[in-house]
């Protein structure tokens, strides 16, 4: 996941909430890192720190976790891939904002995206019926 266009490199708001796509095995509810399909189990409700580096050619920016500002964009980016899931995350130490082109019906959109040094995957919350969703089977 890379930004197509960088719109801001010095953010006033460096923390907040957004949506991220993760790999899931679909059986035990575990989530895995999304970067090059690295099979690292991620912890829920604990801060994760991104590796340092630079991304891009002409419009270079510091690497980090790419967090969609809108859930619908994360879902559109995920597509119909059966092993991907969208989860709400909290982010902090955000340093770059930009857009990613994603396909949403009926066409392409530029999805606002934050790049942050740290994220925390939030626990699942209650659904519309009031039933608690479990992350891991007992």
Query: What is the DSSP code string of 46-83?
Result: SEEEPPP-EE-STT-EE--EEEESSHHHHHHHHTT-TT
In whole angstroms, what separates CA 28 from the centre of its chain?
Answer: 20
Show the DSSP H helices in 4-132 as ranges. 71-78
| Adjacent-strand bridge partners of 6 | 98
- Dump pLDDT digits (tens) for 89-113: 999 999 999 999 887 767 788 999 9
**Given a cut of 50, is residue 8 above it in pLDDT?**
yes
Nearest to 92 by CA among 34, 21, 11: 11
Instruction: Establish whether the linkage from the previous residue to 132 is cis, with ω within 30° of 0.
Output: no
The string of pLDDT tens digits covering residues 76-93 is 888 767 778 899 999 999
Instruction: Please determine, for residue 55, whether its predicted confidence score (pLDDT) is greater than 90.
Output: no
pLDDT (average), residues 11-18: 96
The mean per-residue pLDDT over the stretch 117-129 comes to 76
Q: What value does the mean pLDDT take over residues 20-25?
A: 83
pTM reported for the whole predicted model: 0.80
Query: Where is 113: in which H helix or E strand?
Result: strand 107-121
């Amino acid at each position: 996941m890379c930004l197509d266009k960088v719109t801001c490199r010095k953010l006033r708001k460096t923390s907040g909430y957004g949506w991220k796509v993760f790999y899931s095995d679909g059986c035990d509810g575990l989530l895995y890192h999304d970067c090059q399909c690295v099979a690292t189990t991620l912890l829920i409700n604990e801060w994760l720190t991104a590796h340092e580096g630079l991304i891009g050619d002409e419009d270079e920016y510091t690497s980090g976790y790419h967090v969609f500002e809108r859930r619908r964009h994360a879902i559109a980016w995920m597509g119909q891939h059966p092993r991907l899931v969208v989860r709400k995350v909290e982010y902090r130490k955000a340093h770059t904002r930009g857009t990613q082109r994603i396909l949403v019906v009926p066409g392409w959109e530029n999805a606002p995206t934050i790049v942050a040094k740290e994220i925390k995957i939030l626990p699942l919350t209650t659904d519309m019926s009031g039933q608690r969703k479990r992350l891991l089977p007992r």
